[in-house]
Amino acid sequence: MITTPTVRLAHGADMPRLGLGTWPMNDAQAERAVATAIEAGYRLVDTAEAYGNELGVGRGIKASGIAREDLFVTTKFDRHWHGRDLVPQGYQASLDRLGLDYADLLLIHWPNPGLDRYVAAYEGLVDLLQDGRLKAIGTSNFKPAHLDRVIAETGVVPDVNQIQLSPAVTRDEARAYHQAHGIVTESWSPLGGQGADVLGQPVIAAIAEEIGRSPAQVILRWNVELGLVAIPKSSNPDRMRENLAVFDFALTPEQVAAISALDQGESAAVDSDAFGH
């Protein structure tokens, strides 16, 4: 079984460098996938209220038989909880569905700037952190401008910002901002996701053939080389194990640069000023 390296977050928690994404699995699929992934060596599991599969994720965790303290569980809440006093209610609702006493990391799923309540939502996260109910807090799909506001108005830096990131959307500005502020960048859809044929790019195929690895392993290793946490989604046991086996080889700086050159720019990412839930 593979042991996943971890990264130390700003508030002291140790987060695995690679985990299991669970969108768009339903409860039954998530239950099977989570139990299988944990058996394969995964220790980071990512879900969200909006995915509608927290119940299944929790059942998969229970079925795995692994001690809760050996896992790192992330979930996210939607905009109807964007209020300082609402966040603890949203958190408890997620815990009830998961069947857990705590999550390791809780994220604001989208900033929803049109609602203009993401700072209040972040204040609720800070309260949970300071009360010891969370080990780590963070954001998802926040732009540097959104992060500037929450840091300026609360004085507390998020542990993690989870953003759409792959060789097709390398998010250079966001990654530079995160690095400057000690925020860990977590990649959702790290293999490109729907509509982005990153796995089929000739440069990826060439590197994979050269080093004797799969295209998915090459891309996930690219994430590792850039210092990112990646959460590829898979319900296939063989691909799960393959995705996790990226810590026993390295890419050259030239290979990393060639993969990064596939970037289509910020316009290829979902615009979190316009979309959210």
Closest CA to 115 of 236, 8, 274: 274
User: What is the rounded distance in angstroms from the CA atom of residue 173 to the CA atom of residue 83?
Assistant: 28
Hey, what amino acid is at 6? Answer: T
Q: How far is CA 16 from the centre of its chain?
A: 10
User: What is the rounded distance in angstroms from the CA atom of residue 17 to the CA atom of residue 245?
Assistant: 12
- Annotated catalytic residue, options 51, 91, 118, 177: 51
CA distance readout (Å), 170 to 30, 132, 228: 28, 34, 11
Q: Any residues with CB less than 8 A from the CB of 193 and at least 6 apart, and which?
A: 164, 166
51 catalytic residue (yes or no): yes
Tokens standing for residue 201: 């790019």
Hey, what amino acid is at 127? Answer: D
For the chain, helix (H) and strand (E) counts, in that order, are 10, 10
Active site residues: 51
